[in-house]
Chains A and B, each alone.
Chain A
Amino acid sequence: MLTTELNIADPDGFYEALIGLHRDLTAEQSRLVNAKLVLLLANHVGDRTVLDEAMALARRGLVPSGEDRAMHAVA
């Protein structure tokens, strides 16, 4: 089960490190760093149930306002 209560010893220090991770990066560079971070942590967690819960929680409440580059096709 996904832990949503505090589980980090020094929360303010962690948050500072997370922000520091992105210092002076462009939006594109940040996106790459975040993607790597997600992949590394996801592999560390491993448990697919936990990962699915986290993904659902991360997207909760968002109304999609973008569009993926794919089209419905009929032949």
Chain B
Amino acid sequence: MRSAVSAPDYRNLTFAYARSPDQDAPRPARHPVVVVGGGPVGLTAAIDLARQGIPVLLLDEDDRLSTGSRAICFAKRTLEIFDRLGCGQRMVDKGVTWNLGKVFFRDEPVYSFNLQPDAGHQRPAFINLQQYVVEGYLLERAAEFANLEIRWKNRVTGVCQDDDGVTLEIATPEGDYRLRCDWLIAADGARSAIRGHIGQKSSGQTFRDRFLIADVRMTADLPTERWFWFDPPFHRGQSVLLHRQPDDIWRIDFQLGWDADPEIERDPERVIARVQALLGPDAAFELDWVSVYTFSCLRMDRFRHGRVLFAGDSAHGVSPFGARGANGGIQDADNLAWKLALVLRGLAPETLLDSYDGERIAAADENILNSTRSTDFITPKNEASLAFRDATLELARDCGFARRLVNSGRLSTPSTYRGSPLSSADTGPFSGAMEPGAPAADAPVRTAGRDAWLLRETGSGFTGLYFSPDAPPAETLRALRAAAGGALPLAILVLTPAGAQVPALDGMTVLEDAAGLAADRYDARPGTFYLLRPDQHVCARWRQFHGEAVQAALARATGQG
């Protein structure tokens, strides 16, 4: 049992360097996959590969978790991915759940938004949780896999690839050694050393503005909402963002302007004065962490370079407005792991990895577009954009259209992989959001007499959702079982209306659509069949089940179509 008292202080944990037999091997030892970087993205990729039976070696140049709370907002889709990895519930239990955002202009509220207006999803729109706690939980999950090894204080100093693999030069406290691997995942952050080693770069634009993060510890009677101020009386001419974290920590983000001196702004006295201006002179609080930062929107031209695959901040950078950095990176890992596992197991050609490049570059562009638009609103680049910003905020009080233009961050939602080569085109009419490429929607279900969630029943491999008004006829059952027994494992879920009383079916899971929301969200009719990828994105759907069509769609989804 875990208790609050015995919970480790993830900020101050250090992990011992240990000598590996690889360092004494006469020839470089060979590993199927090496992941570089023990942040949320690297850990997600490593765990996802390990749970699919792939031996993984993770190298980290440091011996600690994230120094500050950094990426505190973890989105619904990220939590669903953590659920697949087996550590989502812990994150949600510890995190602060929020769905509501409020925007203020000067001292008046002008706009509020609910990121999850409809019920029937297991996970909230967002939780706030310190990055070092997320990393700590992921690390503890990683430790449960015998086929996942982590080496601390192992810094990659050279990368060289040929047709057969990648050779890594590694520096440790006890000298250098070399390794070979089939595939290298570079999750080594915005200043990726691997990117430099292979002569690549990430380019885009830097915004001329500076921001101050002040994490303060205090007991405050404020609602658990995201509050954003434009030009508030306590910080004139700039913006301020307030977020609640667990353990009575509050994140306050002050816009400082380009001319601010980062050294001076880090001075605790100065930070305390800024916080006091917001909270009032009598507020009791202490500083927990302070950081001054600038940001850029960048991306690499390609995320796959032969046997080297870039994921997270090494591949793309976004402004912080919208929480699209860590969330986007974790979705990179989500997209990559199943593809790489199939390639390594000989069940898919290497070219399947090109779809990682295509799908995640489109997603990165979507994240960069949204975060750039937010930044253009928050950090006006010239006098005209400042005038439009203030005009929008002033009109927002009385005019509905202007409220929709107010942009304090469009918060992270997963991309639909529209036009993906892994998707099969619809052959019948469908409406709603569950088009091929879309992230599968959740819904409350009942199975074997207990309440459950649709998404939690998926995601360990390819999954078929068969919507059936009652027990499927014997012929359909035979066809479903035949589909499930192909070269690629396919789990079959039979979704029935609530109260349909379908008996257990051998080799399949029967789910009652408890609130009818699955049928609604998937625009399902009796006989509708959806094929979901291991990362829970839709790749094909039909109004009627056809075994051959499903096999063709599976082939296509694994790069063999």
Contacts and interface: CB of A to CB of B under 8 A. Distances in A.
B387 A73 contact: no
Contact of B387 (A35, A40, A75): A35
15 contacts: A32-B390, A32-B394, A35-B390, A39-B401, A40-B395, A40-B399, A43-B399, A69-B209, A69-B258, A69-B381, A70-B206, A72-B205, A73-B296, A75-B191, A75-B298
B190 A75 contact: yes
Residues of B contacting A: mostly: mixed
Interface in A21-72: 28, 31-32, 34-36, 38-40, 43, 66, 68-72
Interface string B369-392: 000000000010111100110111
Interface centre among B201, B202, B383, B388 (most CB of A within 10 A): B388
Interface in B124-147: none
Interface size class of A (residues with CB under 8 A): 10 to 19
A1 to B, nearest CB: 23
B204 interface: yes
A74 interface: yes
B387 A34 contact: yes
A71 B405 contact: no
Contact of A39 (B191, B205, B384, B391): B391
A31 B380 CA distance: 14
A73 B384 contact: no
Contacts of B390: 32, 35
Nearest to A74: B203
A74 B381 contact: no
Contacts of A43: 399, 401-402
Given A38-B388, A69-B208, A73-B298, 19 more contacts: A31-B384, A32-B387, A32-B394, A35-B384, A35-B387, A35-B388, A35-B390, A35-B392, A36-B394, A39-B391, A39-B395, A39-B405, A43-B399, A69-B381, A70-B208, A73-B205, A75-B191, A75-B203, A75-B317
Interface centre among A35, A36, A75 (most CB of B within 10 A): A75
A36 B395 contact: yes
Given A31-B387, A34-B387, A75 B392 contact: no
Interface in B206-241: 206-209
Contacts of B387: 28, 31-32, 34-35
A74 B201 contact: yes
Nearest to B381: A68
Contacts of A66: 382
A75 B394 contact: no
B205 A70 contact: yes
A51 to B, nearest CB: 13
B296 A35 contact: no
Contacts of B209: 69
Contacts of B296: 73, 75
B110 to A, nearest CB: 14
Nearest to B202: A75
Given A68-B381, A70-B206, A35 B391 contact: yes
A46 to B, nearest CB: 9
B381 A70 contact: yes
Contact of B203 (A31, A36, A70, A72): A72
A75 B190 CA distance: 8
- Of all A-B residue pairs in the complex, the 10 with the closest CB atoms, nearest first, are A35-B391, A73-B206, A68-B381, A31-B387, A35-B387, A69-B208, A36-B391, A43-B401, A73-B296, A74-B203
B203 A39 contact: no
A75 B258 contact: no
Nearest to B379: A69
Interface string B189-207: 0111001000001111111
A68 B192 CA distance: 29
A73 B391 contact: no
Contacts of B405: 39
Contact of B204 (A31, A35, A73): A73
